[in-house]
């Protein structure tokens, strides 16, 4: 029911298709890009493909479990996976500075390479300012692809400052390289140092003058030496950046936008979808990660709360026999369908908290359950404790359920808003696991959910 | 409280939200705070439900008690042009540099300069005085870059001193560092009770301290209410299903016999309790890790209905209750 009018993203056919050569997982910060990339890689490998996963800043324990916790910038084969279908999983963690250094080493001879590597401007640039990580990720992807050693490359993307920096970085580099600035910067070196300056036209020398004033002479000089030393390499940078960009547009590439079912995350996901379309990048679909479900979705939030209140009353005055009000409430509520009741529960915006009495602000709204037991502590008669504890537990379970149902309804609303905006985008949902995902088994569980397409049990 | 409040934390943990709540909390009666954004994402405008902020300080809210909150989205490009004009009367050159791509270069590609400009503007607001010699803003709250970049961002001086050894950028960087490394500044870290953000917080504090930057408080955000206490969690492990079904039934949830509604609820409800228990244990571990760090801790509740202006005010009231103002 959740994905009624929505296209379901079928992950397995995508992973199995030999024509799929690159899968890119993008999305805003913290939504599960790295986890999704690793889970997809594992799944594809266990289904028989030879896969490499390029991760960026994976969580420490996840990296350890894949055996890539030491940064050496080359893919390592991951052990402990099921290779019976003939696949393999390799994984690596991007070392941005190393990647940059390697390019320099590969394209400049000894002396010149050293000159660049030691340039303070280069050192700052390569250690990670705006866009370097994005650019290096794309550079690494290009390298992996050109080795043609794997059937499938799964790429993670950096938690960017703004949405699609990894697409913009090569362009920014390109416009820098094409721009007039670089000619100004290179002019003195090309014309033989300072002496050359006087041959520059007045406009240009005014520019370098202004730049010098702004940056300080020293820095300008460093930049100029850097640019001059890199001169021969710029062509290559640019060619490769263009090639990688085209690779991303090619039919063998599939983009997956990962998002959490939260307003902001989905707003950003919508932006991603639009940007990818504008750039002619092939979008396979949306991964809605950390979605919640409930095995008891038939019980609405209000009804659960009403029942919990009945139990409170019981607990306050144990001698009173429970009247049959609850039963009537049940009858009144029962015709509701689960989704409807969930919706109405959450659309009741007047009550922020699933507190026991909607009208009166109770002082203990933070932790109703624990407060209640505290209140009863002193008066306990040993014989009654179990029964009382049981009612407390049951009340707690019901409040927990109400909270879950409200969350479900909220997630559903956000999701509906997205699908209304982009009905063409295929979606798959991944249930939120209660704990972190930090081992192969966890990745496998995520992979199963990715492939199941549907929402978590009970959400439908 | 120090006059420059820098709010960092792992991406998505609530830096923008907490910075805004803090700006509101500090704007007690008669006080004025400035909330600055440095990442060009217009997060503040979104949060306060106003149109995009221009590069200009403007009043966006009145805090409970009557203090005022101003906001500014610092645009590095405009800050640079501003700066050229102010110090060198190079407005025209600025335009030419822009056409050349040099401004773009300086604010996006050239290392450090962007950060000098951003922190420079914030520090200028911290130091600014009115005609009568009083500070224009009692507090400046910065919605800063995430933990991974914060030390580098604030430590522009070291970075830039190695690059621009003389010249205006160098001088500017020095002036900035004088504010940032003084007791006038505090860096707070926002985290969730989850493994990765907590780990990042611990690492970030280590880095900040190593760079002699003043670490302030830890803001634990999106804290969920405790719905089951320890005793209940324990009982949930051993409770006979029939007893639970009966209690559910007595609460008005249908039949407790096999196939009855109450009976069918038992399994799923216990499953949810199990998930809750797992999360609860994780959160307890993370709380312990945070406590080890020896910094003041604040906890802000998860607003289950999502964030809006009312919610933001609620968080700011919460901060005041916890002694921030
Ligand atoms: N479906 C899930 N259920 C439970 N936990 C999850 C799920 N998906 C991801 N996580 C957890 O969420 C955290 C963030 O995930 P991950 O590192 O994959 O995000 P990311 O998008 O790569 O983040 P960043 O933008 O910082 O790179 C991790 O601790 C991970 O274990
Ligand atoms: N206490 C809270 N309760 C509920 N939702 C919250 C809370 N704090 C923040 N949020 C929500 O969490 C999301 C992330 O918050 P916010 O934008 O403040 O984080 P951020 O750290 O600034 O993110 P980014 O790294 O992307 O800049 C937003 O949707 C926000 O509304
Ligand atoms: Mg990641
Ligand atoms: Mg933010």
Helix (H, G, I), strand (E, B) or coil at A160: coil
Q: Which of A445, A452, A432, A456 is nearest to A38 (CA)?
A: A445
DSSP collapsed to 3 states, chain B: CCCEEEEEECCCCCHHHHHHHHHHHHCCCCCEEEEEECCCCCHHHHHCCCCCCCCCCEEEEECCCCCEEEEEECCHHHHHHHHHHHHHCCHHHHHHHHHHCHHHHHHHHCCCHHHHHHHHHHHHHHHCECCCCCECCCEEEEECCCHHHHHHHHCHHHHHHHHCCCCHHHHHHHHHHHHHCCCCEEEEEEECCCHHHHHHHHHHHHHHHHCCCCEEEEEEEEECCCCCCHHHHHHHHHCCHHHHHHHHHHCCCCCCCCCCHHHHHHHHHHHHHHHHHHHHHHHHHHHHHHHHCCCCEEEEECCCCCCCHHHHHHHHHHHHHCCCC
Which ipTM score applies to this complex? 0.81
Rounded Cα–Cα distance for residues B27 and A388 (Å) = 47
pLDDT in tens, A205-250: 666 666 666 666 666 777 777 777 776 676 777 788 788 888 899 9
Q: How many CB atoms lie under 10 A from the CB of residue B161? A: 14
Kindly report the backbone phi and psi dihedral angles of residue A335, in degrees, each rounded to the nearest multiple of 5, phi listed first.
-65, -15
pLDDT(A102) > 70: yes
* Domain A3-295+420-451 CATH class label: alpha beta
- Which pLDDT tens digit goes with each residue over A264-313? 888 889 988 998 999 899 999 999 999 999 999 999 999 999 999 999 88
What CATH number is associated with residue B212? 3.40.50.300
* Binding-site residues, ligand 2, Cβ < 6 A: A 29, 262-264; B 9, 11-17, 43, 146, 221-222, 300, 302-303, 307
Lowest mean pLDDT segment, chosen from A113-117, A277-281, A367-371, B125-129: A367-371
Choose the closest CB to A397 out of B167, B254, B273: B273
Ligand 1 pocket test, candidate residues A24, A29, A34, A35, most atoms within 8 A of CB: A35
Instruction: Report helix, strand or coil for A64.
Output: helix
B168/A213 Cβ within 8 A:
yes
Q: List, in sequence order, every residue forming a beta bridge with A8; answer none if it has no partner.
A: A427
Q: Which listed ligand is nearest to B275 at the C-alpha?
A: 1
* Structural domain count of chain B: 2
Judge whether A41 and A51 are in contact, CB under 8 Å.
yes
What distance in angstroms lies between residue B54's CA and the mean position of ligand 1's atoms? 34
Give me the mean pLDDT over the A178-183 stretch. Answer: 67
Kindly tell me the burial class for residue B64, based on how many C-beta atoms sit within 10 Å of its own C-beta (0-12, 13-18, 19 or more): middle
Query: β-strands A253-259, A283-291: how paired?
Result: parallel
User: A445 Cβ partners below 8 Å, 6+ apart?
Assistant: A433, A437
| Alpha carbon separation from B299 to A369, B88, B106, B146, B193 (Å, rounded) | 19, 47, 39, 19, 10
Q: Is a pLDDT exceeding 60 seen at residue A408?
A: yes
Mean pLDDT within B127-156: 93
CA-wise closest residue to B273 among A51, A222, A397, A219? A397
Question: What's the gap in Å between A161 CA and the centre of ligand 1?
Answer: 17
Higher pLDDT residue, A286 or A106?
A286
Ligand 1 pocket residues where CB is under 6 Å: A 29-35, 57, 59, 159, 289-290, 430, 432-433, 436-437, 446; B 11, 195-196
Closest approach of A455 to chain B, Cα-based (Å): 16
User: Do residues B29 and B98 share a domain?
Assistant: yes
Q: Which of residues 78-117 of A touch B (CB under 8 A)?
A: none
Token pair, residue B4, equals 């420059």
Rounded to whole angstroms, the Cα distance separating B58 from B54 reads 9
Mean pLDDT computed over A117-135: 72
- Residue from the list A299, A306, A369 with its beta carbon closest to the beta carbon of B227: A369
| Co-location of B175 and B262 in the same domain | no
DSSP state of A356: S
For residue B290, being part of any structural domain is answered with: no
Q: Could you tell me the pLDDT band of residue B132, with boundaries at 50, 70 and 90?
A: very high
> Which strands form B68-73's sheet, in the order they lie side by side?
B58-62, B68-73, B32-37, B139-143, B4-9, B185-191, B215-223, B297-301
pLDDT attached to residue A359: 37
Q: Which one of the ligands is nearest to A161 CA?
A: 2
CA dihedral A299, A301, A306, A310 (to 10 degrees): 70
Q: How many other C-beta atoms are found inside a 10 Å radius of the C-beta of residue B188?
A: 25
Distance B10 CA to ligand 4 centre (A): 10
Indicate the burial class of A16 (C-beta count within 10 angstroms; 0-12, 13-18, 19 or more). Answer: middle
Tokens of A310: 């009945």
Question: A159 at the B interface (CB within 8 A)?
Answer: yes
Are B263 and B185 in the same domain? no
Element (H, E) at A24: strand A22-26
- Name the pLDDT band for A337 (thresholds 50, 70, 90): very low
- The rounded distance, in Å, linking the Cα atoms of B239 and A386 is 10
Q: How confident is the model at residue A376 (pLDDT cuts 50, 70, 90)?
A: very low
Q: Which atom of ligand 1 is nearest to the CA of A31?
A: 21
- Predicted local confidence at residue A2, as pLDDT: 47
CB B140 within 8 A of CB B4: yes
Decide if A181 and B109 are in contact by the 8 Å CB cutoff: no
CA B131 to chain A, closest CA, distance in angstroms equals 30
Q: What number of other Cβ atoms are within 10 A of residue A267's Cβ?
A: 16
pLDDT at A7 (0 to 100): 86
How far CA A452 is from CA of A430, A448, A457, in Å, comes to 8, 6, 11
Residues B22 and B131 in one domain: yes
The answer to whether residue B189 sits within a structural domain is yes
Decide: A33 and A154 in contact? Cβ < 8 Å: no
Please tell me the distance from the alpha carbon of residue B93 to that of residue A206, in angstroms, as a whole number. Answer: 9
For chain B, the straight-line distance linking the first and the last C-alpha, in angstroms and rounded, comes to 7
Domain ranges in chain A are 3-295+420-451
Residue B181 lies in a domain: yes
Nearest CA in chain B to A203: B96
Per residue, the 3-state secondary structure of A69-86, as one string, reads CCCCCCCEECCCCCCCCC
Classify strands B4-9 and B185-191 as parallel, antiparallel or unpaired: parallel
On whether both B134 and B183 belong to a single domain, the answer is yes
Write the residue in B40, B102, B303 that is nearest to A211 by C-beta. Answer: B102
Ligand of minimum distance to the alpha carbon of B11: 2
Q: Give the residue-averaged pLDDT of A116-120.
A: 82
Instruction: Give the separation between CA A21 and CA A251, rounded to whole angstroms.
Output: 9
Q: Which residues share a beta bridge with A23?
A: A154, A254
Nearest to A220 by CA among A126, A302, A120: A120
- Does residue B297 lie within any of the structural domains? no
Residue B46 CB-half CA count within 13 A: 12
In a domain, B288, yes or no: no
Burial class (CB in 10 A: 0-12, 13-18, 19+), A454: middle
Residue B269 has pLDDT above 70, yes or no: yes
Cα of A49 to nearest chain B Cα, Å: 31
Give the pLDDT confidence score for residue B105 in this predicted structure: 66
The reply to whether B315 and B263 lie within a common domain is no
Q: Which range is least confidently modeled, A27-36, A322-331, A418-427, B197-206?
A: A322-331
Please tell me the distance from the alpha carbon of residue A348 to that of residue A329, in angstroms, as a whole number: 18
Mean pLDDT across A260-267: 87
Complete edge-to-edge strand list for the sheet that includes strand A253-259: A76-77, A88-93, A50-55, A152-156, A22-26, A253-259, A283-291, A427-431
Residue B314's domain comprises 4-224+302-321
Position of tokens 């493909």?
A: A49
Residue A240 DSSP symbol: H
What's the predicted TM-score (pTM) here?
0.80
Tokens of A151: 């059937």
Of B163 and A375, more confident: B163
Tell the residue nearest (CA) to atom 4 of ligand 2: B303
* The pLDDT value given to residue B37: 95
B183/B213 same-domain check: yes
Residue of B252, B260, B263, B271 to mutate for A, most A C-beta atoms under 10 A: B252
**CA geometry: angle A238, B159, B213, nearest 5 deg:** 135
Q: Which residue of A has its CA nearest to B89?
A: A210
What is the percentage of chain B residues whose pLDDT exceeds 70?
A: 88
Q: Which residues, at least 6 apart from A170, have a Cβ–Cβ distance to it below 8 Å?
A: A135, A138, A241, A242, A244, A245
Residue A456: predicted pLDDT: 52
Residue range B225-258, pLDDT digits in tens: 999 999 999 999 999 999 999 999 999 999 988 8
Residues B117 and B261 in one domain: no
CA distance A286 to chain B (A): 19
State whether A130 and B90 contact (CB < 8 Å): no
Backbone angles phi, psi at A452, to 5 degrees: -70, -25
Q: How close is the Cα of A346 to the center of ligand 2, in Å?
A: 20
Mean pLDDT of A33-49: 97
Q: Report every protein residue that has its C-beta within 5 angstroms of ion ligand 3.
A: A 33-34
Phi, psi of A253 (to 5 degrees): -100, 140
């Amino acid at each position: 029911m959740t994905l009624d009018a929505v296209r379901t993203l079928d992950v397995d056919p995508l992973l199995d298709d030999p024509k799929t050569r690159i899968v890119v997982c993008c999305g805003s910060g913290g939504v599960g890009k790295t986890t999704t990339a690793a889970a997809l890689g594992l799944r594809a490998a266990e289904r028989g493909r030879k896969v490499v996963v390029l991760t960026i800043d994976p969580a420490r324990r996840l990296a350890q479990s894949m055996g890539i916790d030491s940064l050496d910038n080359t893919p390592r084969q991951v052990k402990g996976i099921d290779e019976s279908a003939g696949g393999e999983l390799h994984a690596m963690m991007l070392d941005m500075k190393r990647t940059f250094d390697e390019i320099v080493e590969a394209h400049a001879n000894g002396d010149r390479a050293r000159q660049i590597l030691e340039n303070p401007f280069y050192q700052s640039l390569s250690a990670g300012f705006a866009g370097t990580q994005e650019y290096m990720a794309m550079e690494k992807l290009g390298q992996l692809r050109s080795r043609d050693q794997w059937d499938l490359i799964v790429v993670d993307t950096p938690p960017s400052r703004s949405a699609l920096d990894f697409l913009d970085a090569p362009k920014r580099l390109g416009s820098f390289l094409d721009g007039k600035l670089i000619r100004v910067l290179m002019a003195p070196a090309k014309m033989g140092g300072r002496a050359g300056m006087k041959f520059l036209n007045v406009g240009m020398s005014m520019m370098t003058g202004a730049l010098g004033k702004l940056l300080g002479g020293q820095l300008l000089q460093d930049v100029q030496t850097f640019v001059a030393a890199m001169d021969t390499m710029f062509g290559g940078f640019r060619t490769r950046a263009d090639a990688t960009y085209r690779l991303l547009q090619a039919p063998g590439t599939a983009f997956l936008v990962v998002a959490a079912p939260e307003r902001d995350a989905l707003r950003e996901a919508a932006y991603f979808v639009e940007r990818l379309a504008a750039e002619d990048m092939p979008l396979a679909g949306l991964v809605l990660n950390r979605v919640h479900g409930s095995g008891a979705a038939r019980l609405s939030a209000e009804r659960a709360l009403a029942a919990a209140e009945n139990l409170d009353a019981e607990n306050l005055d144990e001698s009173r026999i429970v009247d049959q009000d609850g039963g009537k409430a049940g009858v009144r509520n029962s015709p509701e369908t689960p989704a409807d009741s969930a919706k109405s529960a959450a659309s009741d915006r007047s009550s922020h908290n699933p507190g026991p009495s909607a009208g009166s602000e109770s002082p203990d709204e933070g932790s109703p359950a624990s407060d209640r037991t505290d209140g009863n502590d002193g008066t306990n008669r040993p014989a009654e404790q179990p029964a009382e504890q049981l009612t407390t537990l049951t009340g707690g379970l019901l409040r927990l359920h109400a909270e879950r149902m409200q969350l479900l309804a909220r997630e559903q609303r956000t999701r509906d808003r997205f699908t209304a905006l982009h009905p063409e985008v295929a979606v798959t949902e991944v249930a939120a696991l209660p704990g972190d995902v930090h081992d192969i088994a966890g990745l496998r569980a995520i992979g199963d959910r990715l492939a199941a397409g549907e929402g978590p049990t009970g959400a439908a | 409280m120090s006059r420059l409040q820098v709010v960092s934390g792992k991406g998505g943990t609530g830096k923008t939200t907490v910075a805004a709540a803090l700006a509101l909390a500090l704007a007690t009666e008669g006080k004025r705070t400035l909330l600055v954004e440095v990442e060009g994402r217009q997060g503040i405008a979104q949060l306060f439900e106003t149109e995009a902020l221009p590069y200009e300080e403007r009043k966006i809210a009145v805090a409970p008690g009557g203090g005022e909150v101003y906001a500014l989205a610092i645009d590095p490009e405009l800050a640079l042009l501003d700066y050229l004009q102010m110090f060198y009367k190079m407005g025209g050159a600025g335009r030419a540099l822009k056409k050349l791509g040099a401004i773009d270069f300086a604010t996006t590609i050239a290392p450090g300069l962007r950060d000098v400009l951003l922190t420079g503007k914030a520090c200028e607001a911290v130091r600014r005085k009115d005609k009568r010699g009083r500070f224009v803003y009692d507090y400046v709250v910065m919605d800063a870059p995430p933990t991974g970049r914060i030390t580098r961002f604030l430590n522009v001086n070291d970075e830039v001193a190695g690059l621009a050894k003389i010249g205006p950028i160098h001088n500017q960087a020095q002036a900035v560092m004088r504010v940032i490394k003084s007791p006038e500044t505090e860096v707070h870290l926002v985290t969730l009770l989850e493994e990765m953000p907590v780990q990042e917080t611990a690492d970030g504090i280590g880095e900040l301290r190593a760079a002699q930057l003043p670490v302030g408080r830890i803001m634990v955000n999106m804290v969920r209410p405790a719905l089951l206490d320890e005793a209940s969690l324990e009982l949930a492990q051993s409770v006979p299903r029939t007893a639970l079904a009966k209690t559910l039934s007595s609460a008005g949830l249908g039949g407790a016999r096999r196939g009855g509604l109450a009976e069918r609820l038992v399994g799923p409800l216990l499953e949810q309790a199990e998930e809750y228990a797992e999360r609860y244990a994780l959160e307890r571990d993370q709380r312990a890790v945070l406590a080890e760090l020896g910094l003041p801790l604040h906890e802000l509740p998860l607003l289950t209905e999502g964030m809006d202006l009312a919610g933001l005010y609620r968080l700011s009231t919460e901060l005041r209750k916890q002694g921030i103002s």
